[in-house]
Amino acid sequence: MRLFDDVKRSGPRLSVQLSLNCKRKTHPVHYLIALTFAADRKQGDYLVRHYDGDYKNNHVDNLLWGDAQDNSNDTKRYNNPNEEIDLTWI
């Protein structure tokens, strides 16, 4: 696996390009951090959510696994219905 130097912004979120067997793929930074360090993942949880609603805060303590309903509830909780909902799939 190779990590490229170019960190990109996908909307308000950071992403990085990784390469395996000469094939590049872009991954959101918050997804990679949650996949590596966030342990509270239950069956059916396929989205990475930001607990404090701040998409720039990618600290592991701020990342939670959830589903579409959890994400919808977060949007209502932060009263930001126009925020793009992040559907980072596995």
Q: Residue 68's pLDDT is what?
A: 87
Task: Give the CA count within 13 Å in the CB-facing half-sphere of 10.
Answer: 17
* Mean confidence (pLDDT) of the chain: 78
Q: Give residue 2's region: left, alpha or beta (phi > 0; psi -120 to 50).
A: beta
| pLDDT at residue 49 is higher than 70 | yes
Give the torsion through C-alpha atoms of 46, 52, 56, 61, to 10 deg: -70
CATH number at residue 70: 3.90.75.20
Domain that holds residue 59: 2-77
* Confidence band, pLDDT 50/70/90 cuts, at residue 33: very high
Asked if residue 88 is part of any domain, the answer here is no
Highest mean pLDDT: which range of 21-25, 37-41, 72-76: 21-25
Counted domains in the chain: 1
Q: Tokens in use for 37?
A: 């360090």
CA within 13 Å, CB half, 50? 20
Residue 30 near residue 13 (C-beta atoms within 8 A): yes
pTM for the complete prediction? 0.69
